[in-house]
Structure 1
Amino acid sequence: MDDRTVDVTVSTGTIRGVGHDGILRYFGIPYAKAPVGELRFAAPVPRAPSTGAVNATAFGATAPQSPYPGELGDLLASVDIPGDDVLTLNIWSPEHAQSAPVVVWIHGGAFERGTSALPSYDGSAFARDGVIFVSINYRLGVEGFAVLEGAPRNIGLLDAVAALAWVRNEVAAFGGDPSRITIMGESAGGSMVAALLARSETRELVAGAIIQSGPLEVPPDDKAARSTIALAKKLKIPATRDAFLSISPEKLVAARAEITRGGTVFSGTPGFSPSLDPSSLPLSPHVALAQIEIPLLIGTNTDEYRLWLAPRELAKIGGFKEWVARIALRIPLKAARAAHAAWRSAPRGEILGQLLTDKALRAPATAAARAKSSPTYMYEFAWQSPVRGLRAAHALEIGFVFDTLDASDSVSLAGESAPQSLAEEMHSAWVAFIADGDPGWPTYRPERLTRVFDTSSMTTPQRRAAIVDALS
């Protein structure tokens, strides 16, 4: 069936998309004004009503960013779409949808890279299965998470707040039920989901949440400011809104790339992140999640670290380097001993990588699951990719969750022979959670049950629990 034009009317006017094979697609819908000129380093501003139909047939511009460097750039795709309208969202809707469940996807990228336009983020499979799928763009890096005198904190998070409010207000026009919105994200996107849950005013807008490999602890203002201060020092300007407004986004991105060139996960180069702020984020998500009463699906991948550390880098780590890194990362000896017991035949570099994964991601996710009294479902993605020794690395699960294993960026991570049956299993579980708040296996508490996704998946008491307990 050929594409056909489809119109929908929202509060600000008409949006024109495309219908094909029972799915309606609306791409690049502006949810706020373009953040240019005096709107840079400022909270998002609502768009004025449009007089004509908004053409929503192509993805909106990507936020200013640089591609992933080195070998990481071969594994993680980058998309560069020029333009100023970076505050946009995209919708895949089943034709004739009525009161359908809704999911809002927030992409990852360490808060300074990424876009909703990646092929693996295609929402067609969700729409095919009765879910209205929404993906958003938000400001990244210094434009979204700088700590500047005279500027609001957490601008990128405020963008997500504005996008979520837009969805809540307008999704009924697309056939969605505004009382059945699930928010979902991976990596930095998962952290953004957790931050939205930590805010009482946005928590009230959602019925469920999915956090995939997302850091949960938000640093205080002074720690979050380190990347901004380093950039100001590089540019020889003060860390103020006025000074940064005088520098183009392109020059800021270039300067940031110079600062981080050659850095590794152990180099200590400060990255961008949300920060604690009385107005925009008064409570760290790792504390706030215990108070969340909505259903939560949360989990990590077995070998997250293998995306960040190449096998040859891991092979260079011996006993002394492991000890130094463990001290620098404040990993308790008890946790290290538990890791060595769990991974008896693993080299030192692998042990350190597993500890890094557990400290940054798995232990905080476990603590949240243990603290919550409302339904919480834990998973571990364990399928091992044949690509570059990635095994079950960070971000590998995305193509399975989206059922987009044939997308070019999924193939880069998982290869060309990834098991479609596992994609169907995971995607169905995510759809079930979005629709009904239950992915199909028992809650984590009281027996610490975890769904382990692999070629033969199973539900089992949490594996390697002694490590995360020692890190809690």
Structure 2
Amino acid sequence: MTVCDTRQGAVRGRTAPDGVASFLGIPYAAPPFGARRFREPFPPEPRTGVRDATAHGPTAPHAPYAPPFDVLVPDNRIEGEDCLNLNVWTPAPEPGAGLPVMVWLHGGAFTNGSGSTSGYDGSAFARDGVVCVTLNYRLGADGFLRLPGRPDNRGLLDQIAALRWIRDNIAFFGGDPDRVTVFGESAGAMSIGMLLTTGAARGLFRRAILQSGACHHFLRPSSAALVAARLAEKLGVEPTPEALAAVPLPELLPAQAELRAEVSADPDPARWGEAVLNLMPFEPVRPALALPGPDCGVDLLIGSNAEEYRLFLAPTGLLRALPESALLAGASAYGLDPATALPVYRAARPGASPGELLAAVATDWFYRIPAVRLAESVPNSYLYEFGWRSPRFDRTLGACHALELPFVFDRLDDPSYAPLLGPRPPQALADTMHRAWVSFARTGNPGWTAYDTTTRTTMAFASPAATGPVSDPRAQERLLWEGVR
């Protein structure tokens, strides 16, 4: 057992045989319930004595993923109100070590996920000389529903509160508060995209890694109001914080999940606004797109997976079942002219089905083009693309959304990732990718040339033999989105 101080009191963690110490379930804010429901995060209460930190704390309340994603995407749920907590892994649990710090923001479409799933265990980062922190933030209605008289984006405010806690306390665990890299995937990366242009977050991190998410995913206030009204209607209450706080969680959480299914079943912009395109009714609220620009003061590593959207089509059978009409409608909804754009996508994918082509178009709209736009906005950013293809689902899953996670965390042997990875994923690729993330956290350079609009250098993480920098991958498809996305 190992004891570290914090400003709220000492915590007792556990030290593994390899020397990595872990401290789990440390509150960074007070429980967000009762009088604190739907409000900004409040500071944690000071404690006397030594708090046990050898087990994960409660997770933010959320419903399970719907099948088949409940098996494919790692998640866990631990009940309890003290859910605004974080976990620390460190090789040197003592002040003065001055190690770089990496802070993980999990994904889950702003309605699922936690910082405590085994797939996000930070031991490999600590093994390599980094203090790794993972955390929970409020999800769904509690974190992101727009409500009168309450602050928007409470989940983002939680993340900022956690980063402030880390600034004030991470030196006790051997970390350097001036060398913080925040990294996240999907909704976690989209959160970072928002934090980059949020004044309250400025100065709380020096570097950022955005995996499969950037600055383009948000709801305008008018769309957020539509979502709030529909959720309240489903629950039979007024769309006010008081009325929603009176709804028991066993009723609220399934209603949130049903709401997302409603958006998919009836993607009518009159009902949902922008949510019809990304199918996420709970996400950050802001009036317009904001890119950080060259003076943001943060080093950036940004990227996406080559076939992200296959995660949402291959396991459900839609990849091969979608008709041509769905492809035409999807391309049009994303702002492309099908007559000119689809031949470009077809030329690079001879014999592709309509579902495979829609997956390519949607991958660009959701993930690749927002990553490119962010890299264009901030000079000396680094861009990557993950292209290793999973053999799962008769090799149709491909380089899908979330597949890079076990490589980044160097956890290919974690059972929670097996349904995505299949047998014998390449450890050499995990070694390379994990090493690049550590290098970026230490130095601001992951090991390849920075992105610019002349060469557009992109690091391709494919098979171990095919990993290396490429110039402007799929340039003709990228050009289709100029002025569109």
The match for 1:249 is: 249
User: Counterpart in 2 of 1:319?
Assistant: 324
SS, match of residue 367 in structure 1 = helix
Structure 1 unaligned runs (5+)?
278-282
Query: Deviation at 1:341?
Result: 2.6
Q: Deviations over 1:180-221 (max 9, x none)?
A: 000000000001111111113313121110000014222311
- Cα deviation 1:97-144 (Å, max 9, x = unaligned): 610000100000000000111111010000000000000100000110
Deviations 1:33-74 (A, max 9, x none): 011111110100001211121211111111111111111112
Opposite residue 155 of structure 2, the aligned amino acid is G
Q: Does 1:463 align with 2:460?
A: no
Shift of 1:309: 1.1
Using the TM superposition, name which of 400-409 and 336-345 deviates more.
336-345
Instruction: Pick which of 237-246 and 29-38 moved more.
Output: 237-246
What secondary structure, in the 3-state scheme, does the structure 2 residue paired with 1:380 have? strand
- Given the alignment, which residue of 44, 58, 61 partners 1:61? 58
**Contact 2:71 2:419 (8 Å CA) reproduced:** yes
- Matches of 1:113 and 1:404 in 2, distance apart? 21
Query: Secondary structure of 1:139's match?
Result: coil
Post-superposition CA distance 1:220-274 (Å, at most 9, x none): 1112333322211111222111111111222110222333448749854552100
User: Does the C-alpha gap of structure 1 residues 148 and 25 become closer, same or farther in structure 2, counting only changes over 3 Å?
Assistant: same
Q: 1:100 to 1:421 in 2, by over 3 A?
A: same
Q: Does 1:230 align with 2:237?
A: no
- Aligned counterpart, 2:10: 14
Give the root-mean-square deviation of aligned CA atoms. Answer: 1.8
| 1:8 Cα offset (Å) | 0.9
Identity %: 40
Structure 1: distance between partners of 2:69 and 2:361: 21
Partner of 1:366, secondary structure, is helix
Q: Once the two structures are superposed, what CA deviation does each residue of 1:384-419 show, in whole Å capped at 9, x if it has no partner?
A: 001122110000000000000111122121123100
Conservation of the 8 A alpha-carbon contact between 1:449 and 1:459 = yes
- Which stretches of structure 1, 4 residues or more, deviate above 4 A after TM superposition? 261-267
Give the alignment's TM-score, normalised by structure 2. 0.91
Matches within 5 A, 1:75-94: 75-94=72-91
2:456, 2:472 within 8 Å by CA — same for their partners in 1?
Answer: yes
In structure 2, the residue matched to 1:149 is 148
What residue number does 2:271 align with? none
Q: Tell me the equivalent position of 2:137.
A: 138
Q: How does 1:16-415 map to 2 (within 5 A)?
A: 16-20=12-16, 21-95=18-92, 98-217=97-216, 218-261=218-261, 264=264, 267=267, 268=276, 270-276=280-286, 284-285=289-290, 287-310=291-314, 312-333=317-338, 334-373=340-379, 375-388=380-393, 389-415=396-422
CA distance in 1 between counterparts of 2:194 and 2:406 reads 24
**Given residue 93 of structure 1, which amino acid in structure 2 is its aligned partner?**
T
What is the CA-CA distance between 1:329 and the residue it aligns to? 2.8
CA distance in 1: counterparts of 2:423 and 2:372, whole angstroms? 32
| Partner secondary structure for residue 231 of structure 1 | helix
Secondary structure of the 1:427 match is: helix
TM-score, L = length of structure 1? 0.94
Q: Which runs of 5+ in 2 are unaligned?
A: 268-275
Q: Is the contact made by 1:448 and 1:461 (CA closer than 8 Å) also made in structure 2?
A: yes
What is the number of residues matched between the two proteins? Answer: 461
Measured in 2, the distance between the counterparts of 1:403 and 1:337 equals: 39
> In 2, Cα distance between the equivalents of 1:214 and 1:129?
26
2:272 matched residue in structure 1? none
Structure 2 CA distance, aligned partners of 1:61 and 1:96?
24
Instruction: Give the secondary-structure state (helix, strand or coil) at the position aligned to 1:471.
Output: coil
